[in-house]
A and B are shown apart, each in its own frame.
Chain A
């Protein structure tokens, strides 16, 4: 059974059919790319998957269970984590706290425990501190653990956002343009890191990207959207040579 599956997914914004008949399924350990020209509806797919919008039709299932109508935080707790196109970090919060915040749902100590620093507080804080540092190390930003997130250079901010998403222990990771604004070296580093976390954490990854080398380099399967519909899908090779895809990006003819 696939980890995440959508069937006939669609949304209508006051007359505009932004997405229609979107269907895909992701299995554990797969890296799938979602590409398409600007405005095709890629981020809208993410927003539907995470309850930012309610789909007007269609099915979204996580491990066979429908998540349509569940609240965003519930969906995250159930196992879908995401990053944002325009980076949404907790700016005036330290790097490590950004990660610790995302670990909140696994912690159990009560408000009273936290206020009076009871043993449960100490134990759990120690554990997540350790886990948080490890996660930061995977992305090479552990030295900046106590800097404010807003002071990180751009590339590291993007990495921090991914680290924070991973901190929620997801089954599926949705990455929205993770390589945006990165230079070739950083991009290559990111590709390696993503494959590493796929192997290490055994998660499925759905990513939106415009950098074709990035997409072709790590995605096993690619879905192409245009005007809210899937126009092609397949391996990198299939998609690269598909005339419909070329037309969509170049504008026809």
Chain B
């Protein structure tokens, strides 16, 4: 039964990776950019919750909502300030990558200066009794993580497939030029995509803080990287892929932790990344996008 507990726990943490991976995938799908700064948005989200909840002592719902809105806006602002100009002028790949790294480093160091580099403790936010299925016990945080992530993904699928803006997102991902000719405002669509991705990251941050209640300015680094590996594993650019990759990575991490060694989890994550990139770079559910010759 212990094995199944590990699997369930893995799905729990994997849900968080999945939520964050969605942001990577959506942005990559629409502008073919790995947003290095995405991981640090999680950190921003966590600190907003901290400030609202602990420093300002305001109610939990306000903290969560505030974090989501703040991160969503932050995503849009970052896109506008750092990436927009380069995207519009068709800048070479390497310029976008460098800017993305710059934003990531900026966020980490800014928050380090604002809040200090030591870890801050978060209070438990959501507590309810664990679920008991025979000998299997599922903790409240795991339940919450899985439930929220499934809900979010369903919502996102609805948004992308049934709404007008979702259509615009899909069109811009396929062919930005054609989308523009069809009257779609690609600039707004791209900004919106960044915003949604960042808002989802905030949700992931809230869940993460609930599961591991300690935050530091550098937390976005490894967490973002793991979510990135999840996105690549599932197929970057694919929304279901991000979820699938997240769950698989979570379970892999959980099993490594339990049966091999907790020191090696980071190595396993990198290992998965290397294997995927060498064997099938487009991931499990990804599409092969060829350069037109």
Contact = CB atoms under 8 A, between A and B. Distances in A.
Interface residues on A, range: under 10
Contacts of B293: 43, 47, 52, 84
Contacts of A47: 293
Interface string B276-293: 000000000000000001
A82 B293 CA distance: 12
The B interface is mostly helix, strand or loop, or mixed, namely loop
A42 to B, nearest CB: 13
Interface string A8-47: 0000000000000000000000000000000000010001
A211 B106 CA distance: 55
Contacts of A43: 293
Interface in B236-293: 293
A177 to B, nearest CB: 13
A150 to B, nearest CB: 14
A47 B293 CA distance: 8
A52 B293 CA distance: 8
Interface in B72-90: none
A84 B293 CA distance: 7
A52 B292 CA distance: 10
Contacts of A84: 293
A157 B293 CA distance: 18
A246 B102 CA distance: 58
Interface string A75-100: 00000000010000000000000000
A52 B290 CA distance: 10
Interface in A93-118: none
Interface string A37-72: 000000100010000100000000000000000000
Nearest to B288: A14
B285 to A, nearest CB: 15
Nearest to A82: B293
A175 to B, nearest CB: 15
A47 B292 CA distance: 10
Nearest to A44: B293
A185 B102 CA distance: 51
Nearest to B287: A14
A84 B291 CA distance: 13
A84 B292 CA distance: 11
B155 to A, nearest CB: 31
A196 B293 CA distance: 28
B89 to A, nearest CB: 15
B227 to A, nearest CB: 30
Interface in B150-184: none
A71 to B, nearest CB: 15
Interface in B47-93: none
A45 to B, nearest CB: 12
A72 to B, nearest CB: 10
Interface string B16-40: 0000000000000000000000000
Nearest to A43: B293
A43 B292 CA distance: 11
4 contacts: A43-B293, A47-B293, A52-B293, A84-B293
Interface of B: 293
Which A-B residue pairs are the 4 nearest by beta carbons? A52-B293, A47-B293, A84-B293, A43-B293
